[in-house]
Amino acid sequence: MLKTERTTQPSRAGNDRPDVSLVVVWIDWYAYHLARFHALLDSPELDGKVTGIELVSGAGVHAGYKFREERSGSLPIETLFPGQAWQDVSGLALAAALWNRLNRIDPSVVLIPGYYTLPAIAAALWAKLKRRRSVLMTESTADDHPRHWWREAPKRLLLHALFDWAVAGGASHRRYLTRLGFRLPRIARFYDVVDNAFFRERAEALRKHYRADDFDLPERYFLFVGRLADEKNVDGLLDAYLAYRRGGGTWSLVLVGDGPGRERLEMTARSSGFSGIHFEGLKKSADLPQYYAFAGCFVLPSRCEPWGLVVNEAMASGLPVIVSKHCGCAEDLVEPGRNGFVFDPAASGELEGRLSHVGALSPRELCEMSVRSAAIIAQFSPEAWAVEVACIAHERPL
């Protein structure tokens, strides 16, 4: 991943701040994990006393798909099971290895991804037994799955016992944590961020020096980036797009990604009789800006999506967005009519209407939406996340 220059946030602590060291754990590190980690390393309040732990470096929780990004060997990140996939290593082995590594590092703060795996529970128990601060990193909302009181009650007790603080993505995630017993002053923000500067600068440079056809892309298109899987509702997007075309729409559709639904989607596209539907396959993060740069609008149609970091990437690249109401980011990142639109995937014809509306906008109106997207996403930055984490590390009010 290309590391762009960052403007570091000013310190909010005095010179007498207590000494802290911090460990951040993720299963397998994607580009956005690296962006967050760089921001922690760059934080003057953490003094570079930050260590990363990656559990596996093969395929992660999505079986068969490896999204991990290569990184500089100079970064203070250790992989516990190099070359191993998440499904190939037992939870007990991961938990034991993580426990031993925490014993060697002995940090004062541990950032832990979720509460539903043995390694996460082990890290939180380690922090509690050692009287260190345990911090839950979470993207869960009340609407992710059906919620039942007989499951929520023990979960509430577990979280209260294991975690001192939490870092969440947005408003819906914080509401759910308060339902589970977290006090709002103990819930930090800006967990779901990407390297805004990377996407903004690359998109601007590409638009300045190239055209869409230099990359074999159509002149104007709707863009999707993500797994071609049922939960992403790409079938619904394709159906809505074909209805838009039957109604006289002229924009193309570009789908970037791979997954179990690709063959079925390609068959539907071929049998539709319409040209202009492009399947680009899985791309590395460094290759995504060329797709964002020349798109007219980004669409995330998911039936269930804890956040949707591709929306951050698209907005940082200066795109209007159309986002399903079931995406965790919709409430925080989409201002309907100003930088995009929200829709209900279950409402027949609603996504088609959104595509038709955006496809009929003037260049000036699209430009105004692009400017607003860039302004909104500027608040959701790796630097903002690092400031929140530093507040937790030094136990200051958020």
Where does the pLDDT of residue 262 fall: very low under 50, low under 70, confident under 90, or very high at 90 and above? very high
pLDDT at position 63, please?
A: 56
Domain 22-193+381-393 and domain 196-377 have a common topology: yes
Q: Where are the domains of the chain?
A: 22-193+381-393, 196-377
* Pairing relationship of beta strands 340-343 and 277-281 according to DSSP bridges: unpaired
Q: Is the pLDDT of residue 130 over 70?
A: yes
Q: Is the pLDDT of residue 16 over 70?
A: no
pLDDT at position 227, please?
A: 95
Distance between CA 323 and CA 185 in Å, rounded? Answer: 29
pLDDT in tens, 162-207: 999 999 999 999 999 999 999 999 999 999 999 999 999 999 999 9
pLDDT in tens, 310-363: 999 999 999 999 999 999 999 999 999 999 999 999 999 999 999 999 999 999
- Please report, as a single letter, which amino acid is at residue 375: A
Integer CA distances (angstroms), 103 to 90, 114, 123, 140, 358, in order: 20, 20, 10, 29, 54
Measured in whole angstroms, the distance separating CA 104 from the mean position of its chain's CA atoms is 30
* Angle (CA) 373 374 377, round 5°: 85
Distance between CA 355 and CA 192 in Å, rounded? Answer: 26
Distance between CA 20 and CA 236 in Å, rounded? Answer: 48
Q: Is the pLDDT of residue 288 over 70?
A: yes
Confirm if 359 and 244 have CB atoms less than 8 A apart.
Answer: yes
Q: Is the pLDDT of residue 49 over 70?
A: yes
Residue range 196-377 forms a domain whose CATH class is alpha beta
Residue range 22-193+381-393 forms a domain whose CATH class is alpha beta
pTM (two decimals):
0.92
Confirm if 231 and 303 have CB atoms less than 8 A apart.
Answer: yes
Mean pLDDT of 382-397: 96
Closest CA to 260 of 239, 297, 231: 231
Tokens of 255: 């789908």
Mean pLDDT of 124-128: 98
Distance between CA 265 and CA 375 in Å, rounded? Answer: 34
pLDDT at position 61, please?
A: 61
pLDDT at position 387, please?
A: 98
pLDDT at position 310, please?
A: 98
Closest CA to 216 of 278, 274, 262, 293: 278
Query: From start to end of 141-276, where are the E strands?
Result: 165-168, 187-188, 221-225, 252-256
Mean pLDDT of 102-106: 97
